[in-house]
Chains A and B, each alone.
Chain A
C-alpha cells in the first residue's frame, strides 16, 4: 500500500481512447474524457450507452480492450481493483449482508490494516447521519439509509476518485431530491472527485459541475449544465436534455450572424451558436424560449422584436395546462407541430385549439445543427 493517509484531494482523471468490446459488440468506443480534480462530474446517457462499463473500467472490475486510464498522470488501466485509489458506490449498493453497518463501513480500512478504525467509522456514520444504526444489519435499514451506508463505506477510504453508479436510482422521487442535495453537500465537504452516472437528466443538471452526455459508447458533448442546455452540439443532446423544436432551414449567408431561410422566413443565429455554417440545417429553439401571439400581433417580450424571428400562420392544435405553465402544440403551415411552453403568470393571452397564432423567438435563443443528424435522436418514446 503506497497511498498515505493525508486527506485525499480529488485527482485529475483522463481517459484516452478507452475501448471495451464484448465479443463483437463495442460497448465503449475510443472514449476520451478529462475530469478535473475535485469536480462533481456527471456521466449522462440513455440505458445501454456504456456508462456502467466505463465506470467498471475505471474501478478495475472490467478490463479495457484498449486505451489508457490516467489518474494524476499514472496509467492505472491494468492495475487490480484493490490496488486503485478509487472506490465505488454500486447501483444496488452491494452491502455485505452478514456484516453490520459498522463493519460494512470499516471493511476498506481493515483490509488496508489502517488503525484507529472506531473513531473514523463513527465520524463517517455521523457525516451520513447514521450514527444510531451502527449495530444493525443492512436488511434492517430503509433504501435511503442503505444508500448512505454504501456512500460511507466508499468515502471512508478517502479515495482520489469516487464512482457512483446511479446511486439514487432505487429511491422514490422525493427521497431522490433530498439525497441529491445531500450528495452535493458531502462532495463539497470532502472535496473528492465524484463521477456520477445517471440517466436522469434533471439529476445531472442539478448536481454536476460538468456533464458528459454519452450515446452508443461515445461522448456526444461535454460541458456545464447551462452550456449543454442552451447550446447543444447534436440533435441527440438537444432532445435528451429537455425538449427542442428542430425546424428545417437552409443557410443563406454566414457572418457574425448565420442567416438561415426557414420555410420562407429569414432567421439570424449568432455564429458562436452555429455548429454548421452552410447547407441544410436544423434551427433549434427550446419550447420555453418561444413566444406565442395572436396572428398578426407584434411580440411583446423585450428584445424579441429587435433581433427576433417571427413565423406566421400557425394554428393551435392542442393545449395542455400543467400548472406553472401551459403547453401548446402549434401546427405550422409546412405541417410540423412546434411545442411552446407559456408561463402562467397572467401576462400572456390564453389560446384555444383552432386559434390562429404567430410564433416568435430571439436569435440568441436558437442554435444551428447539422441537418444530416436525426431530428428525433435522443427523444423519449
Chain B
C-alpha cells in the first residue's frame, strides 16, 4: 500500500519536473508580478496603518494632537485601557456572542428551508435575504429605532399581552442593541450556511435513513456535520463585525449599553486620547484573532483559514 503511495508521489514529482527550467522561472516571475498590485494595496492600507496603530498605542498619553505625541513605549497604556474599559470589552463580546447564537438559530432553519424545501421559490428567497443590503446599514438600524419605539406597535402589543410591564420599554436597552446586531448580521449567517447546505448530497441523508437513523439522527449525524464549514464561516462573519460594532449601541442603546466600538469612537473623535483609543483597538484585534483561532481549531474547520 505504501509502495503505491510512494509510486504515485514519484510519478507526480516526475511530471512536475519534466518541463525545462527557463519557462518555469519566467512563469513564476509572472505570478509575482500579478501579485504586486494586491501586495501594494495590503501594504498601504493594512500593514502601514496597523503598524501606525500599534505605535500610537505606545505613545505617551500626556501629548496631544496639536503639540504632538512622544514615543515612550508606554506599555502602561494597555493595563490602563483594560481597567478603564473592562465592562465595555466584556459587554461587546457578550452582545456579539448572544447575537451570533440568536443568528444561528434564526438562520439555520431559514438556510435549510431555502436549500432543501423552497423549490422554485429558492432564488426569490435568496434575493429577499440579500434585499436589506440595498439600503444602508444606518437607515436599517434607524428603522429598528422606530420599530422598538416607546409608542410603537411592538411595545404596545407586548404591553397588551402583559409581557412588558406598563412602564417597560424596549428601546435604549440591551434587548434593543442585541436585536439590532442580530438583525444586521443575519444575512452573513444565512448565506454561508445556505452555500454549504446546498452542496450536501441528499442521497447521503437517504443512506443514513437506510442505515437505521431516524430523521433527527440523520440530521445530527450527516447534515449538521457536513454544514459545519458554513456554520463556522457564518459565525465568524457575524461575531467579528458585531463585537467591533458601535452603530447599534449608539442608535438603539444608551451609554449603559456602550460597546468597545463606542469607546474607541469616543476616544478618537471626542476625547482625542489617541494612545488610549489605539490601545483599545489593538486589544480588540488581538482578542478577536485569538478567539477565532481557538474556535476554528476546536471546530475542525481549519481549511477556512
Contact = CB atoms under 8 A, between A and B. Distances in A.
Interface stretch (B65-73, B210-218, B231-239, B264-272): B210-218
B207 A88 contact: yes
The 8 closest A-B pairs by CB, nearest first: A94-B207, A111-B212, A108-B211, A81-B209, A94-B203, A82-B212, A98-B225, A88-B210
Range, interface on chain B: 10 to 19
Nearest to B202: A94
B224 to A, nearest CB: 10
Interface in B181-233: 201, 203-204, 206-214, 217, 221-222, 225-226
Contacts of B207: 88, 90, 94-96
Contacts of A92: 203
Contacts of B225: 98
A107 interface: yes
B210 A87 contact: yes
B210 A59 contact: yes
A174 interface: no
A112 interface: yes
Contacts of B226: 97-98
Contact of B212 (A61, A90, A97, A157): A157
Interface of B: 1, 201, 203-204, 206-214, 217, 221-222, 225-226
B209 A157 contact: no
Contacts of B221: 107, 111
Contacts of A154: 210-211
Nearest to B210: A88
A132 B1 contact: yes
Given A82-B211, A94-B201, A94-B206, 7 more contacts: A82-B209, A90-B207, A96-B204, A96-B207, A96-B208, A157-B211, A157-B212
Contacts of A96: 204, 207-208, 222
29 contacts: A60-B209, A60-B210, A61-B206, A80-B214, A81-B206, A81-B210, A82-B211, A82-B214, A86-B210, A87-B210, A87-B211, A88-B207, A88-B210, A92-B203, A94-B201, A94-B207, A95-B207, A96-B204, A96-B207, A98-B225, A98-B226, A107-B208, A107-B211, A107-B213, A107-B221, A111-B217, A111-B221, A132-B1, A153-B211
